Amino acid sequence: MKHIHEALSWASSFLESKGREGFAAEILLRHVLGGLSRTELMMKMRDEMKRDDFEAFERAVSLHAEGEPVQYITGYEEFYGRTFTVNREVLIPRPETEELVEHVLYLVKKYSHVKKMVDVGTGSGAISVTLALENDELNVSTVDIAHESIEVAEKNAAALGATVTFMHGDLLQPLISGGMKVDAVVSNPPYIPDADILELETIVKDREPYRALSGGTDGLDFYRRFMEELPLVLNDGGFIGFEVGGGQGEPVAEMLRLTFPGALVYVKHDISGKDRMVFAESVRIKS
């Protein structure tokens, strides 16, 4: 039977030979061994691996080599310091979305009247659950077109103790039909141009839900629809926060300037220097 360090060395080399990141082997190994921390794993490196554990590890490594994301194999991803359950019905939360959440929380402090907020495109609940937990004065709702995604997000909210209102529907339609108004709208909508999806790695395009990726021919379809619906749900003086794809910052900012003349509209870059977020503050609704 292999020692743990031998199993890890084999898996890292195998994954790299298949064009995957070698460090994924460690994540999978820690998962198979019962959710060990990195330190705990280091302390067990000379231990022999049980046959059942090694066979489970082999299966996990093979799955990842074939293109299954590590997060769908382990069933979770970390976001803003918390563990979120994920499966193939939801987009895997990305680190750059943490930056969107961080700035939204800053704006909530800046505009003390902002209490009611909606997150559009629930997914795993990473955005809505995090906002609700980070600021308990917020009344957070979230909308998704897929019941399957909402089920995952509801489980995450319950597990993490977040109070979030879940709504099923298309973009802001549930609010419009219910006559609901909010002080802020935040969204990380699908924004990848359809042609670009074909160029994505198998691990993304063939495994993560297409509905969470496709933004139409130029990737901007959902933002155009937002411009029609936002004026119907926003209270005066509110704000909007979007995540966008690379190169989409200015086009989306221009849409917001045309829709909300006089609002403070700007593009924010992420830690990698990409135009990743667009915000509109002090939005005024034309009567």
> Annotated binding residues for substrate, as ranges?
188-191
Q: Assess contact for 240 and 277: CB atoms under 8 A.
A: no
Residue type, 243: E
**CA-angle at 165, arms to 167 and 149, nearest 5°:** 50
Integer Cα distance of 182 and 194 in angstroms: 31
The number of residues making up the chain comes to: 287
Question: Residue 112 has which token pair?
Answer: 């003390």
SS (H, E, C) 85-106: ECCCCCCCCCHHHHHHHHHHHH
The angle, 0 to 180 degrees and rounded to 10, between the axes of the packed helices 221-233 and 249-259 is: 30
Integer Cα distance of 84 and 93 in angstroms: 9
Q: Assess contact for 278 and 242: CB atoms under 8 A.
A: yes
CA distances 113 to 138, 163, 200, Å, are 10, 20, 41
Task: State the binding site.
Answer: 121-125, 144, 188-191
Which residues make Cβ contacts (< 8 Å) with residue 180, sequence separation at least 6?
A: 141, 174, 233
Integer Cα distance of 229 and 174 in angstroms: 11
Task: State the binding site for S-adenosyl-L-methionine.
Answer: 121-125, 144, 188
Q: Assess contact for 83 and 165: CB atoms under 8 A.
A: no
